[in-house]
Amino acid sequence: MAIAVQTQLTPEEYLAWERKAPFKNEYLSGQILAMSGASRAHNLITGNIFNGLYNQLMERDCEVYTGEMRVKARPITSYFYPDVAVVCDEPRFEDDVFDTLLNPTVVVEVLSRSTAAYDKGEKFEAYKQITSLQEYILVSQERVNVERHFRLGTQWKAFEFREPAEVLTLDSIRCELSLGHIYRRVKFTKE
């Protein structure tokens, strides 16, 4: 969950402040967004995706990061903590602290009711500005539902997956994840 806090911090001031903060905060168009804790389902899904990608990429020249790696988007400077990020080129960082990735290839966000609109809207618009980003994956924690957004030239296209037997193919990094693997051990609550 992200809660917007009005701020007058510049991107540079945010980064200096964030590196000392006891908890994570995203930064979008001058607003600081405080990040709250994640549910069991969110943690399981994130771990399953990280595990599946890490295992497929460990012998390749790629790195997989969990939600502790900050990603910077421009031209409107924004900083996010995606649930999973993959880079398959030489990683580039904002500075010599090596905690802000500039060139992700794939970004995964696990949605909650409180963040879904933000992740699908403003955050996706900011992520689209990262020229290295080839795929943006949105994963529901409420039901089996995965959206794969991918860059095709200058356009973004999308596919949706809803069955546990379906396989999410990430063409940009040559990986596959079955939805059964993504949702392993996740129990959905009935509304």
Per-10-residue mean pLDDT of the chain, 191 residues long, equals 60 92 87 85 97 97 95 91 95 95 98 90 95 98 97 96 97 98 91 56
Q: What is the CATH number of the domain that holds 126?
A: 3.90.1570.10
Is position 83 within any domain? yes
Is position 23 within any domain? no
Domain extent for 71: 38-182
What's the pLDDT score for residue 75?
81
State whether the Cα torsion 165-42-40-145 is positive or negative: negative
Is position 11 within any domain? no
Contact call for residues 154 and 35 (beta carbons, < 8 A): no
Instruction: Please give the tally of structural domains in the chain.
Output: 1
CA–CA separation, 45 vs 39, rounded Å? 10
What's the pLDDT score for residue 103?
98
CA dihedral 53, 49, 109, 185 (to 10 degrees): 180
pTM, full prediction: 0.91
Is position 155 within any domain? yes
